[in-house]
């Protein structure tokens, strides 16, 4: 079964058209399907439009938020309620094309866990959208090691167990492929079509770029150091502490053996500073270790994911 998850915030004109086009594509597939619209606290006629469609078509399911929580929260809610084995996310504004869905599914059948859409010929403004996005995609690819051209494209297919694995906060939905790498997910991309927005307005401005940059640091940390924060904090702290100690030893040596004045030397202060910073970082690392353990143990989560077990009965 396939679940389509569609976050929608003030998209009343787009939804009926999208629904008709989606239905045509999905009915032509062999698999069973459901369409989950998540109304993210719309202030226009979106709730009524969705209610009307859902009344006629039981395959259409609607989750309505009390207020606007953002696209990521909407997708998270959709994932939580999805019943399908494969989950496909797309925008409600007709910028993604339902006709690309069979292509995504075909690629999934080759054994991938995530197939990401790549808006090769993107129909958005250059300066405020395409350029920042190009730079961001390049940085994310380099930092995370998951090379994709278009992290920001909502049209993606996920194996359900991967999509449901994450608690998504902030704007993190775009980083799912990078996060999934931690579990050894097989990830690929295919070019998809993209259309200009015909009705309604875009919900984002250039401010999104800053949030994306901040999230990159978080993803890097979550991917590589989440199970060993002491190594990253403590490692840095150790070197600072060592450098500070060497400096102070050197000054002590000078004082004892040459009797030189060391009280007014900037080096003295630098040494003290490095030692203190070092101790601070090491303690932060230890505290982070404790927090991480609580995190894993309270969620009953293991720091590894098993792909398959052979000859092992539970």
Q: Which residues bind Mg ion (CB under 5 A)?
A: 91, 93, 95
Using CB atoms within 10 A of its CB, is residue 151 exposed (0-12), middle (13-18) or buried (19+)?
buried
Specify the residue, 18 or 73, whose C-beta has the smaller distance to Mg ion: 18
Specify the residue, 133 or 144, whose C-beta has the smaller distance to ligand UDP: 133
- By CB under 6 A, residue 284 contacts ligand UDP: no
Specify the residue, 74 or 219, whose C-beta has the smaller distance to ligand UDP: 74
Three-class SS state of 37: strand
- Only one of the segments 111-119, 177-185, 202-210, 280-288 lies at the binding site for ligand UDP (rule: CB under 6 A); that segment is 202-210
Name the residue among 123, 116, 104, 111 with its Cα closest to residue 25: 104
Q: Min. distance of Cβ 145 from ligand UDP in angstroms?
A: 25
The answer to whether the beta carbons of residues 308 and 249 sit under 8 Å apart is no
Q: Min. distance of Cβ 96 from ligand UDP in angstroms?
A: 9
* Strand bridging mode 187-192 / 114-119: parallel
Residue 2's Cβ-side half-sphere holds a number of Cα atoms within 13 Å equal to 24
- By CB under 6 A, residue 93 contacts ligand UDP: yes
Instruction: Determine the Cα–Cα distance for residues 150 and 138; give it in Å rounded to an integer.
Output: 9
- By CB under 6 A, residue 203 contacts ligand UDP: yes
Specify the residue, 73 or 179, whose C-beta has the smaller distance to ligand UDP: 73
Site for ligand UDP in 13-52 (CB under 6 A): 40
- Which residue in this structure is represented by tokens 């999509």? 163
Q: Min. distance of Cβ 289 from Mg ion in angstroms?
A: 42
- Only one of the segments 3-11, 101-109, 168-176, 268-276 lies at the binding site for ligand UDP (rule: CB under 6 A); that segment is 3-11
Select the residue interacting with ligand UDP from 8, 26, 108, 153 (CB under 6 A). Answer: 8
Question: What does 98 interact with, of ligand UDP, Mg ion, none (CB < 5 to 8 A by kind)?
Answer: none
- By CB under 6 A, residue 78 contacts ligand UDP: no
| Helix and strand element counts for the chain (H, E) | 10, 7
The answer to whether the beta carbons of residues 234 and 285 sit under 8 Å apart is yes
- Measured in Å, how far apart are the chain's first and last C-alpha atoms? 27
* Vertex 173 angle, CA 172 and 179, to 5°: 75
Instruction: Determine the Cα–Cα distance for residues 146 and 227; give it in Å rounded to an integer.
Output: 20
- By CB under 6 A, residue 132 contacts ligand UDP: no
**Would you tell me which residues interact with ligand UDP (CB under 6 A)?**
7-9, 11, 40, 68, 70-71, 74, 91-93, 95, 202-204
């Amino acid at each position: 079964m396939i679940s389509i998850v569609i976050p929608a915030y003030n998209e009343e004109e787009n939804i009926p058209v999208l629904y008709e086009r989606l239905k045509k594509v999905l009915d032509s597939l062999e698999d069973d399907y459901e369409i989950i619209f998540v109304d993210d606290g719309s202030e226009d006629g979106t709730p009524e439009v969705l209610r009307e469609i859902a009344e006629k078509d039981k395959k259409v399911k609607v989750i309505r938020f009390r207020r606007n929580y953002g696209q990521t929260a909407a997708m998270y809610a959709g994932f939580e309620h999805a019943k399908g084995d494969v989950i496909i996310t797309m925008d409600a504004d007709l910028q993604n094309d339902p006709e690309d869905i069979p292509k995504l599914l075909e690629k999934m059948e080759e054994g991938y866990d995530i197939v990401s859409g790549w808006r090769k010929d993107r129909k958005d403004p250059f300066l405020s959208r395409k350029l920042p996005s190009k730079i961001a995609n390049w940085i994310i690819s380099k930092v995370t090691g998951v090379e994709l051209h278009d992290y920001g494209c909502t049209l993606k297919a996920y194996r359900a167990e991967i999509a449901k694995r994450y608690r998504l906060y902030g704007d993190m939905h775009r980083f799912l492929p990078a996060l999934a790498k931690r579990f050894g997910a097989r990830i690929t991309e295919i070019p998809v079509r993209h259309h200009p927005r015909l009705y309604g307005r875009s919900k984002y401005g250039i401010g999104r770029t800053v949030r994306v940059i901040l999230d990159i640091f978080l993803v890097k940390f979550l991917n590589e150091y989440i199970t060993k924060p002491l190594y990253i904090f403590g490692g840095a702290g150790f070197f600072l502490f060592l450098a500070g100690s060497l400096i102070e030893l050197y000054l002590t040596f000078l004082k004892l053996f040459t009797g030189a004045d060391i009280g007014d030397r900037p080096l003295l202060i630098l040494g003290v500073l490095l030692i203190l910073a070092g101790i601070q970082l090491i303690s932060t690392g230890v505290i982070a270790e404790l927090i991480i353990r609580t995190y894993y143990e309270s969620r009953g989560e293991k720091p590894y994911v098993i792909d398959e077990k052979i000859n092992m009965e539970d």
